[in-house]
Amino acid sequence: MILTGATLTDPLSVLCRAEAGWLIEQAEALLPELQDLGLEVLLNRTALTLLPMQDTVSGQPFYLGEVLLAEAQVRVGEQQGYAAVVGRDLVQALAAAVLDAAGTLPQFEQRVTALIGAERVRQAADDDRTLREIEATRVEMETF
């Protein structure tokens, strides 16, 4: 996720890193009930945003370049949901925004929290596997 300060514990960060197919499947399962509550799409578009980074020596922030995002904003009753995903998949962004909004509604909160919790575990396992693969390629210059 692009937002500064986002962590794996942030539900929206988990949703925005999730695979498109999984997001769409989960959102479609909730759509009939959400439509009864008045689901409205407020925003669904692609946009460019600057990718913030921090210089490792000086600690100063700078912008590495631009990133293409798909972003969506929905309203369900009085609650709103928002999501931005890297790339141009508007359906993926819309599905994440729907789940974000559903998670704020009392009747869906437990179900969405459980979905996000399971996805968080899967993402953490993927991250761990990736870090182990990277570590295996490390070259120790002292022994080189």
Domain boundaries, the chain: 11-130
**pLDDT interval class at 143 (50, 70, 90):** low
Segment 1-7 shows an average pLDDT of: 38
Does the pTM surpass 0.85? The reply is no
DSSP state, 59?
A: -
CA 137 to chain centre: 28
Q: What are phi and psi of 49, to 5 degrees?
A: -135, 155
**pLDDT at residue number 9:** 64
Q: Name the average pLDDT for the chain.
A: 89
Q: pLDDT tens digit string along 29-83?
A: 999 999 889 999 999 999 999 999 999 899 999 999 999 999 999 999 899 999 9
**pLDDT at residue number 136:** 87
Closest C-alpha to 15, from 118, 139, 128, 140: 118
